[in-house]
Amino acid sequence: MATTTAHTEQPAGHKEPFPPFNSQTFASQLFWLVITFVFLYVMMAKVALPRIGAIIDTRQKRIDDDLAHAQKLKAESDAALASYEKALADARNRGQAIASEMRDKQAAASEATRKTLETQLNAKLADAEKTIAATKTAAMSNVSAIAQDAAATIVERLTGTKPQEQAVAAAVAGALKR
C-alpha cells in the first residue's frame, strides 16, 4: 500500500507561515475582522462618541459660562474702578475747595485781627504820645524852675550876692527859647 502524506505536513526544514498570512484561514479571519470592526464601530458610534461629545459639550458650556462670568466680573470691576476714580477726583476737588475756603477764612480772620490790633496799637500810641507830651510839658516847666534855681545858685556862688528872681527867670527863658 502506498502511503500518502497529509497536506498538513510540511517537508523537513519548512516552517508554517505566519497565521494571518495563512491562506487556509484567510476567509475566516476576514469574516471576524468585519464582525469585530462593525461591533467596535457601532460601540464607538452609539456609546463612546456620544459620551465624549457630551463631555466636550459640557466642558465647552462651562468654559463659555466661565468666560461670560469673567467678562461680567471684569465689567463690574471696570465700573467699580471708574466709580472709585470719580469718587477720588471728587474728594480731591472737595478737599481743595475746603482748603481754599479755610485759607480764605483764616486770611479774613487774620486780617480782622490785624486791623483790630492795629487800631488798639494806634490808640495806645496816641495815648502814649499824649502822656509823653504831658510829661515833656511838665518836665519843661520843671526844667525852667530847676534851671532858674541852678542859675541863681551858680550866680550866688560866683558873685556872692543873690540875684533877683525876675532877672534869672528872664535869662533862663531867653536861653530856653534858643
pLDDT higher than threshold 60 for residue 7:
no
91-114 per-position pLDDT tens digit: 999 999 999 999 999 999 999 999
Q: What is Dmax (Cα atoms) for the chain?
A: 213
User: 134 pLDDT band (50/70/90 cuts)?
Assistant: confident
| 0.75 surpassed by pTM | no
Residues 6+ apart with CB under 8 A from 19: 25
pLDDT at 1 over 80: no
User: How far lies 116's CA from each of 90, 128, 161, in Å?
Assistant: 38, 18, 62
C-alpha cell of 10?
510540511
